[in-house]
Amino acid sequence: MEQGEAEGVDPRVLRTRRDVVEAATRLFLEEGWNAVTHAEVARRSGYSKVTVYAHWPTRLDLVRASVGRICDAVDHPEPTGDLRADLIAGLTDFAEDLADGHLDRVLGGVFERSGSDPVVDELRQQLYEAGTRSMEAVLRAHLPPEDVESSLALLVGGVLVRGVFQARPPSRAFVEDLVDRVIAPSGRRKAI
């Protein structure tokens, strides 16, 4: 909700929206997409199903609000200006988010439903952009524009494959090797 939308809205309505979205988000992170039902969100938030349905008529509305909350809470390491160090920090942060088990449940639910509804595809894109925004900015500061998208895909994809598909936590050594393989081929490391 935009700051301007909150003006003039009854504080009780704002509190209800906050409480329900927090409950739906915790449920989504802890148990995945299928667990996010109006009945369970109402139970966890302490509001009636009627209230939940009034603000979020569909399960997808609850998931969309949850994804928005997740994206708003994304916290990336502060860039230092050192390409290699910043990429390692960003990928290590991503790997840790995958390792805690919450992010892979969110991504799994979205991936499973991709292509089924344009809203789900928007959520997938929203998650990707929120999760990669910082690393993309780092790459843009150091690489030619035509190299940014593919480098970002290689870096994020490498960590995702290692952590989710191979079910092996990406170690720091793995992340460092991945970064070096992506930035070294054309001598892109920029000294400061």
Are residue 101 and residue 167 in the same domain, yes or no? Answer: yes
Please check whether residue 90 lies inside any domain of the structure.
yes
Please check whether residue 190 lies inside any domain of the structure.
no
Q: Which of 18, 50, 67 is the last residue of a domain?
A: 67
Please check whether residue 26 lies inside any domain of the structure.
yes
Please check whether residue 123 lies inside any domain of the structure.
yes
Are residue 33 and residue 95 in the same domain, yes or no? Answer: no
C-alpha distance from residue 191 to each of 81, 166, 187 (Å)? 9, 34, 11
Read out DSSP for 107-170? HHHHHHHTTS-HHHHHHHHHHHHHHHHHHHHHHHHHS-HHHHHHHHHHHHHHHHIIIIIS----
pLDDT at 175: 96
Are residue 150 and residue 85 in the same domain, yes or no? Answer: yes
Domain that holds residue 59: 7-67
Give CA–CA dist 123/75, Å, rounded: 18
pLDDT tens digits for the chain (192 residues)?
444 456 777 888 899 999 999 999 999 999 989 999 999 999 999 999 999 999 999 999 999 999 999 888 888 899 999 999 999 999 999 888 887 767 878 888 888 998 889 999 999 999 999 989 999 999 999 999 999 999 999 999 999 999 888 988 899 999 999 999 999 865 554 443
Are residue 98 and residue 170 in the same domain, yes or no? Answer: yes
pLDDT at 98: 80
CATH of the domain at 28: 1.10.10.60
C-alpha distance from residue 121 to each of 14, 58, 64, 102, 110 (Å)? 28, 16, 11, 20, 8
Give CA–CA dist 42/65, Å, rounded: 15
Are residue 80 and residue 170 in the same domain, yes or no? Answer: yes
Are residue 89 and residue 25 in the same domain, yes or no? Answer: no
Rg (CA), the chain: 19
Number of domains composing the chain? 2
pLDDT at 95: 87
Are residue 48 and residue 99 in the same domain, yes or no? Answer: no
CATH of the domain at 127: 1.10.357.10
Please check whether residue 191 lies inside any domain of the structure.
no
Are residue 102 and residue 172 in the same domain, yes or no? Answer: yes
Are residue 90 and residue 61 in the same domain, yes or no? Answer: no
